[in-house]
Amino acid sequence: MVMKGYDPKTNGGQYLEDLATAYWVSDALFTALEMDLFQTIDDFGIRGASLAELAPKLGANESALKRYLALLKSLGLLGQHQNIYYNQLITKEYLLKESPLYQGDSILWRKNLRDDWTTLKASLIAGGRVNFLPEDISETELNRRRANYIRAMDNVAKLKAQDCTAFFTELSGAILDVGTGSGAMALAFLEAFPDTEATLLDIKQMLPQTQKLVAATTFSDRVCYHPANILEPDWGLTQKYQLIILSNIVHAYAEAENEQVLKTAASHLSDDGIILIHDFFNEHHPVKAHLSDINMFLNTYNGKVFSGAWVSAELGKHDLVTSPLMPLATDTALIFAARSQSALDRLCFKQDTN
């Protein structure tokens, strides 16, 4: 896959062609989700569905649909036995709405980024983002966008949260989730460690969306909400925390903002607490990291992807010791920080990321 970068032992021309046609694959996936194709097959039950059954349900031409289903089969998303099509395990786990690890909202949110990517040349010439929301956008539309965004980020966070909790063998006390979004990362820790409670911190415009998602879980009685702008030096908090989570926060800002965010986070860390930073880092999965960096360039005012070395150095300025960069099996990695090495030593760093 092109996300792995070029292997000089392979055909270079083919690699370039694969780069040029990568959008074919993503558009095939987007279309299946928009047509509810996988859900429709699932509705037929365990036996699957024939082409003749699917075509009218999807409102598709039967001959054209047959060719499209062959593509989805070649991508490993569908299986076929004689004239019956069925969802493969990957589809059942990630592309059916009732699945706990459903990724459809995240995938379709990425489709919505395509317009921004068409401005890449103009943004390179201008030196920054050129595609902005209209000035007269309504609060209703903004809330719709926030809801779509938070559902997308909830999909992603659920995919990676259990990998993060696995580094902890025990945890009790107060958790602070900075820029919480859906709250999924904190909720994973609440589920894994019953003697914890969480403060979910985000801007006041986002927290109503967070509350809707948390209300659908069994953890709402162990959660409190705190509106704050994390770019301000004072978050209005009065306590120290055993775990402070910054998940996909660092890449949303540039150096100056992150220096302030990390400083404030460190000030709220208990003596034996842990800061967990989950993000893209240039040292891990570099193609995806640099693509994510350009995505920030196109979609934010000054977001960027940093090296783990830079983040660790910033944490060190606040008398914190840090772990090595801990890659996950996905495209992101973790850095842990604490006031003492003994606090870090309580973590389980021998993770299977294969």
pLDDT band at 350; cut points 50, 70, 90:
confident
pLDDT of residue 3: 77
Read out DSSP for 197-211?
A: EEEEEE-TTTHHHHH
Residues 7 and 60 in one domain: yes
Kindly state whether residue 7 falls inside one of the protein's structural domains. Answer: yes
Kindly state whether residue 352 falls inside one of the protein's structural domains. Answer: no
User: Which whole number is the average pLDDT over 28-46?
Assistant: 98
Residues 32 and 21 sit within 8 Å (Cβ to Cβ): no
User: Which whole number is the average pLDDT over 232-242?
Assistant: 97
User: Which whole number is the average pLDDT over 30-40?
Assistant: 98
Strand partners of residue 293: none
pLDDT tens, residue by residue, 240-268: 999 999 999 999 999 999 999 999 999 99
Which strand (E) or helix (H) includes residue 69?
helix 62-74
pLDDT of residue 121: 98
Task: Please count the helices (runs of H) and the strands (runs of E) in the chain.
Answer: 16, 11
Picking from 228, 234, 231, 232, the residue whose alpha carbon sits closest to that of residue 202 is 228
pLDDT of residue 351: 57
**The pLDDT of residue 117 is above 70:** yes
Residues 21 and 166 in one domain: no
Residues 49 and 153 in one domain: no
Kindly state whether residue 121 falls inside one of the protein's structural domains. Answer: no
What sign does the CA torsion over 250, 253, 256, 260 have?
A: negative
Kindly state whether residue 298 falls inside one of the protein's structural domains. Answer: yes
Amino acid, res. 224: C
* Cβ-count burial 292-310 (b if 16+ within 10 Å, e if not): bbbbbbbbeeebbbbebee
Report in angstroms the alpha-carbon separations of 336 from 158, 167, 322, 349: 19, 10, 6, 10
pLDDT band at 296; cut points 50, 70, 90:
very high
Kindly state whether residue 48 falls inside one of the protein's structural domains. Answer: yes
Residues 144 and 247 in one domain: yes
**The pLDDT of residue 193 is above 90:** yes
**What are the φ and ψ backbone dihedral angles of 79, each rounded to 5 degrees?**
-120, 165
Kindly state whether residue 227 falls inside one of the protein's structural domains. Answer: yes
pLDDT of residue 279: 98
Residues 85 and 155 in one domain: no
Which of 69, 96, 123 is the last residue in one of the domains? 96
What sign does the CA torsion over 243, 107, 113, 283 have?
A: positive
Residues 75 and 162 in one domain: no
Residues 212 and 290 in one domain: yes
CATH number reported for the structural domain that contains residue 270 in this entry: 3.40.50.150
Residues 147 and 286 in one domain: yes
Residues 217 and 302 in one domain: yes
Picking from 308, 163, 334, 151, the residue whose alpha carbon sits closest to that of residue 247 is 334
Picking from 137, 182, 191, 129, the residue whose alpha carbon sits closest to that of residue 164 is 191
Give the three-state DSSP class for 16: helix
Q: How many domains does the structure of the chain reveal?
A: 2
Residues 144 and 69 in one domain: no
Which residues, 6 or more positions from 144, have their beta carbon under 8 angstroms from its beta carbon? none
Which residues, 6 or more positions from 332, have their beta carbon under 8 angstroms from its beta carbon? 160, 248, 278, 279, 280, 281, 284, 285
CATH number reported for the structural domain that contains residue 90 in this entry: 1.10.10.10
**The pLDDT of residue 1 is above 70:** no
Start-to-end CA span in the chain (Å): 17
pLDDT of residue 6: 86
User: Which whole number is the average pLDDT over 23-50?
Assistant: 97
Which of 96, 120, 148 is the last residue in one of the domains? 96
Residues 165 and 309 in one domain: yes
Residues 298 and 160 in one domain: yes
**What residue numbers bound the domain in which 246 lies?**
139-344
Kindly state whether residue 289 falls inside one of the protein's structural domains. Answer: yes
Structure token digits, residue 185: 């990362």
Q: Where are the strands (E) in the chain, listed by range?
A: 49-50, 78-81, 84-87, 173-178, 196-202, 223-227, 241-247, 269-279, 321-322, 326-327, 333-338
**What are the φ and ψ backbone dihedral angles of 338, each rounded to 5 degrees?**
-155, 170
User: Which whole number is the average pLDDT over 6-11?
Assistant: 90
pLDDT of residue 325: 98
CA–CA gap between residue 94 and residue 101 (Å, rounded): 5
CA–CA gap between residue 153 and residue 165 (Å, rounded): 18
What is the maximal distance between C-alpha atoms in the chain? 66
pLDDT tens, residue by residue, 16-28: 999 999 999 999 9
CA–CA gap between residue 228 and residue 89 (Å, rounded): 41
User: Which whole number is the average pLDDT over 146-174?
Assistant: 95
Chain mean pLDDT for the chain: 96
Which of 96, 115, 147 is the last residue in one of the domains? 96
Read out DSSP for 328-349?
A: -SSS-EEEEEESSHHHHTTS--
Strand partners of residue 203: none
Kindly state whether residue 34 falls inside one of the protein's structural domains. Answer: yes
